[in-house]
Structure 1
Amino acid sequence: MGISEDPDGANAVTREGGLTWRVVAGWLVGITAALAVTGVALGRETGLAPFLVFLPTLIAGRGTVRQTAVASVWTVLVIIGSLIRRPLPSAAATASVIIFALALDGLSVVQAVRRVRQEKEISRLRSAAAALQRHILRPFPLATAELVVHGLYEPVEEDSMVGGDVYEAMPTPYGSRVLIADVQGKGLPAISAAFAVLNSFREAALAEPTLTAVVDALENSVLRHNSFVAQTGEEQRFVTALILDIGSETTAQAINCGHIPPYLLSEQGTGQIHLGEASLPLGLASLSPEPRTVTPFNFPTDSTLLLCTDGITETRDPSGAFYPLEERLSRWEHLPPAEIAPTVHHDLEQYAHSKLADDVALLVLHRKPALPDTPSIS
């Protein structure tokens, strides 16, 4: 996050990446003292002027407008005091140094004002985008005849880092159908593509009798979206997606369009489900002569599937190692389904030292236990 500041700069609040007043004071006093001691030692006290005058410019890059203004006033006063103590050979030279300091420090304040305004606008846009995502994506838990779906979605609200992760789980005449998708790229254009896929899925899942027909509808929606944005000069996108069809039988169906395969948590063990070679992401089907095919897999009753985006699997610790999701899941296979998503998220933040660089989307699909046979009444 950047720096938030009210219009008059009276209530500056530094956030992550900003400067505290203690840091600013340390810079001002420390650098001034270091230059003063050096100047006395060399017998050139006025020599600090050309060095100290650039300090407000450095603070303007990360500090608030008020911090930059204070640094500017401090710098000018110190330079004037130094010139009074040890004047330059001519009044013109003295005036030139003071004018240069005033001009450069004034530009530093203007730079800080512009930067803060830009950061406020970026913050407003990314917060609006994240709020829109949360509004369009249905809150957990979701429920169908076959499933109870828990999960979480945490967008990263940093400048252009707002991503395009979407999910859906819905009852249809053909069983429960589930989508999790991740749009290539970041920013508002990625969100636009994600919503196109989500809306298409909600329509096709209800209307199309086969999973391949649902995926064909998603492919067409991405192509239409790319055709439209190409007219405006925006970058065309592709979308990785995993689409599931889960009916009353324990055998479920999946089409994997370049996405992370699901993980199964059951009494028989925990691990990633092998779905074979993934198809190309949505929007790229024309690059392959092979049509997308359905892969069946076993999803027993009272077991759990975990679906996620690469915001989880590509999270790194400070050493650069990827988050070992499959290894960690074996510890949590006996947790209630409602506790799995928050447990994974908490562990992920600890692993990355709270420095998540991508959106985190996680679905926990628990297949409802089989209902006992109802005895007939004679």
Structure 2
Amino acid sequence: MSATGWIRDRFTGPPPGGVPGTVTGTWPKTSHALPLIGMVLVVSLDYFTNSEVTVEPAITAVPALAAVVSRRTWYPLFVGAVAELCSFLMAWYNGVLGESVHTATVLAVALVAGIGYVSATLRLRQEQALADARLVADIARRVLLRPVPDRVGSVRAAVHYAAAAAQASIGGDLYEVVNTRHGVRAVVGDVRGKGLAAVETAAAVLGAFREAAHQEPALDRVAGWLAVSLDRALHETDHPGVEEEFVTLVLIGVCPDGSVEIVNCGHPAPLLLTADGCRAVEPEEPVPPLGVLDPADVRPPVQRVAVRPGDRVLLYTDGVIEARDHRGSFYPLAGRIGELAVGGPVEVLRRLHEDVVRHVGHKLGDDAAMLLLQYEPPAPELPQPRQGREALPDSGSAAGRATGS
């Protein structure tokens, strides 16, 4: 078993609806009958037409069709063999067995069947390589962008991520939610650029956040920790062709007392969704993205917002608000989220993503990440009444005292 096959079976299992390690073709199994149907049509047409005119050369298209509709390498050869037999039958019927048109047809069928076999083999190898690449990308996404549980401390959480790169499941956007002794803390960020360089930078920022969120009691100190880690990562790793690298991000902390702290470093403002409506929590003063200033100069202000149970905070990247329709209009997130924010966090983000795609009219051209946090503190535990033998002496003594009196 190959290494990728072992990883697939160990972590993900075989892909549904297909052979493990391959990409399921777009043609249904019933399409395998198309070459045979075409062969019957050619033979029938030759039989019912004038015997002086032969359509025998049309049989050469049949093995080519077999190579298109089937993922089995032997199928073009099988169809080619049947086409050769039909070619001889048509030539015998028309009396052209010794003529050049029959010889040319026989050679053409053999050549097309051979080319079909080679093309089917190459396509199968490419599909295998693509399946392995997608498997590795999916595992890398699970390691870098870990799944967010439905309940994290005092909040319900949901995330939706869509990578812009074709056949990829990871890009330059990042997110994370952790439960710490300082409360629930989350980050959503966007790395400048795409490709492997953006993924490496996102990995450095996420690794630093997962450590700093637990260690630093102040949220602005977490941002400073991230700035130091990012600066070190950019100096240690050289990304050719990338002139400037920085990360926009917003940090949020849901404190045990129900207040929300927000630190914004050049990122789109979060949206606060309450029963009274929706509003953007704009930073009190602009702060550049991480990587622009020296880490010692990163001292972003901390905004504090009071929330009530049921209130939600939506964090997102610019791939959402910069999605354009065919007229060039940006997606109006603040105007649309009100009617879409119905149901649980997962359902809200799914409906929101579908609405963005409808606005654009096609697949998004940029990475887009959305994180929704809903404040729902757990209900306090009620004291349990005393049961069993401990309650009997008290009630009995009370009854005895009442009787004695």
Question: Would the TM-score normalized by the shorter structure come out above 0.5?
Answer: yes
The match for 1:45 is: 55
The match for 1:301 is: 308
Q: What secondary structure does 1:230 align onto?
A: coil
Q: Does 1:199 align with 2:204?
A: no
Q: Does 1:140 align with 2:149?
A: yes
The match for 1:55 is: 65
1:40-119 to 2 correspondence within 5 Å?
40=49, 43-49=53-59, 51-52=61-62, 54-59=64-69, 63-65=71-73, 68=76, 71-73=79-81, 75-86=83-94, 94-119=102-127
1:141-290 to 2 correspondence within 5 Å?
141-144=150-153, 147-153=154-160, 160-164=167-171, 165-171=173-179, 176-183=184-191, 190-208=198-216, 211-226=219-234, 230=238, 239-247=247-255, 248=257, 250=259, 252-258=261-267, 260-275=268-283, 281-283=289-291, 285=292
Contact conserved, 2:43 with 2:86, CA < 8 A, in 1? Answer: no
Contact conserved, 1:46 with 1:86, CA < 8 A, in 2? Answer: no
Aligned residue identity for 2:122: R
Q: Separation in 1 of the partners of 2:330 and 2:264? A: 26
C-alpha distance 21-234 of structure 1, shift in aligned 2 (>3 A)? farther
Contact conserved, 1:140 with 1:152, CA < 8 A, in 2? Answer: no
Which of 356, 364, 376 is the equivalent residue of 2:372? 364
C-alpha distance 163-100 of structure 1, shift in aligned 2 (>3 A)? same
Deviation at 1:345, TM superposition (A): 1.1
The match for 2:29 is: 21
The match for 1:345 is: 350
Q: Separation in 2 of the partners of 1:23 and 1:185? A: 42
Contact conserved, 1:155 with 1:359, CA < 8 A, in 2? Answer: yes
Q: Separation in 2 of the partners of 1:263 and 1:93? A: 74
Q: Tell me the matched-pair count.
A: 354
Q: Separation in 1 of the partners of 2:36 and 2:275? A: 63
Contact conserved, 2:174 with 2:188, CA < 8 A, in 1? Answer: yes
The match for 2:402 is: none
Q: Percentage identity across aligned positions? A: 23
Contact conserved, 2:252 with 2:261, CA < 8 A, in 1? Answer: yes
Deviation at 1:150, TM superposition (A): 1.2
Structure with greater Cα Rg:
2
C-alpha distance 332-346 of structure 1, shift in aligned 2 (>3 A)? closer
C-alpha distance 65-350 of structure 1, shift in aligned 2 (>3 A)? farther
Q: Separation in 1 of the partners of 2:373 and 2:220? A: 21
Contact conserved, 1:36 with 1:48, CA < 8 A, in 2? Answer: no
| Gaps in structure 2 of 5+ consecutive residues | 1-14, 381-405
Deviation at 1:88, TM superposition (A): 6.0
C-alpha distance 370-25 of structure 1, shift in aligned 2 (>3 A)? closer
Q: What secondary structure does 2:339 align onto?
A: coil
Q: Separation in 2 of the partners of 1:150 and 1:211? A: 20
The match for 1:376 is: none
C-alpha distance 128-91 of structure 1, shift in aligned 2 (>3 A)? same
Contact conserved, 1:212 with 1:293, CA < 8 A, in 2? Answer: yes
C-alpha distance 270-171 of structure 1, shift in aligned 2 (>3 A)? same
Aligned residue identity for 2:301: V
C-alpha distance 177-363 of structure 1, shift in aligned 2 (>3 A)? same
